[in-house]
Amino acid sequence: MTADTIPEWTAHALPEMTDDLRRLVELETPSYDKGLLDTGLARIHDWLTERLGAAAQARRYPGGEYGDALELNYPGDAPGTVLVLCHYDTVWPAGTLADWPFRVSEGKATGPGAFDMKLGLVQAVWALRCLRSLDIPAPSVRFLLNGDEEIGSPFAREHIERLSEGVLATLVCEASVDGALKTERKGVGLFEVAVRGLESHAGLDPDAGVSAIHELASMVPALVGMTDRSKGTTVNVGTIEGGTGRNVVAKHARCGIDIRISDPAEMRRIDEVLAGLRPVNPSAEVTVRGGWNRPPMVPNPGSDSLLAMAQRIAKEYGWQLEHAAVGGASDGNFVAALGRPVLDGLGAVGAGAHARHEHVRTEHIPSRTALLAGILRGLGEQPT
């Protein structure tokens, strides 16, 4: 086998991979639509079985109000196991396909969820098909498909953390950054600050009330002031709600806050600031809700070794593989926070996540699939 064998195989498979992408994109799977998530996951399971055969072990974990998680284990012919993470939910509501159908034009495939991240799942499945077809040894592969990633994986997190224990590596098939892997991601905190005041007539008796809106407004500078760009920390007060009328001193007000951090130590500082919020008027009450949705993804020695392997493989194939730090989070954050080896951004090359110009560049589908196959091959050649 030469270094060109895998890329040649994946290049030949491009039409079939594109057809599979169409098949998955045309399954609408919005994060908040339990019925469509259930139907979509069942059909994705059928498709996986068509492409790879029945899994040696298949477990579907009921997600309650959230999308179910599906674990599929395929035995390999090399030591160890690799966990492959793919989410099947998208941010797009039911009916989006009606005015934005899947299409391929001028080297771009577009449709809701094509880039984020249904192509990543297609590429992962075809990478394993490639190795099987070429009789190249690889470790066992454990797929975990979850339907709540776009809303923070509140259900799937425990399964991700449990199933990533003891594996050779966790490969996350989220979309790339213009072809670069994602080796650092920010952690995410989602909080709400709520204030309770006292209503009164704004004209007849303004001093009898305690304005929750005024109290909240006095706190916003302190909230925004938690930003520390030197440490990679940003704070966004994204929503403010409150009051019942312009002539009523507001009894209730609240704001929604998105916090991104690069340094895990920042979590403690932020928590202390939020816990210390106090109203100007002692008659008002302040309540902080929410928490840390995902810890930061920080490189560790195992992840660094995975990156070096991926870059060697790309070089064998004749191209250079870059890596990048990004502000968004993924399920890979959970794995990295446990100190386990993880490589993210192995999916599509394209742009427009969560936007109407979402698309993938079809010319890169074979090379990204070959990269995944090469990493699996490389992990099978390493001592466990």
Query: Catalytic residues, which ones?
Result: 89, 149
Phi, psi of 47 (to 5 degrees): -65, -45
Estimate to the nearest angstrom the gap between the alpha carbon of 278 and the chain centroid: 35
- Cis-peptide into 219, omega within 30 deg: no
Phi, psi of 356 (to 5 degrees): -70, -15
Residue closest to 183 by CA, chosen among 192, 196, 174? 174
For residues 350 and 358, is the Cβ–Cβ distance under 8 A?
yes
Q: 143: exposed, middle or buried (C-beta count within 10 Å: 0-12, 13-18, 19+)?
A: buried
Q: How far apart are alpha carbons 199 and 300 in whole angstroms?
A: 53
| β-strand pairing of 342-343 with 169-172 | parallel
Q: How far apart are alpha carbons 330 and 173 in whole angstroms?
A: 10
**CB 54: neighbour CB atoms within 10 A?**
10
Residue closest to 345 by CA, chosen among 145, 127, 143, 181? 181
324 Ramachandran zone, left/alpha/beta (phi>0; psi -120 to 50): beta
CA dist list (Å): 351 to 105, 176, 347, 348: 15, 9, 12, 9
Q: How far apart are alpha carbons 29 and 40 in whole angstroms?
A: 6
Residue 152 neighbours by CB under 8 Å, 6+ apart: 188, 190, 293, 294
The β-bridge partners of 321 are: none
Residue closest to 359 by CA, chosen among 97, 116, 40, 17? 116
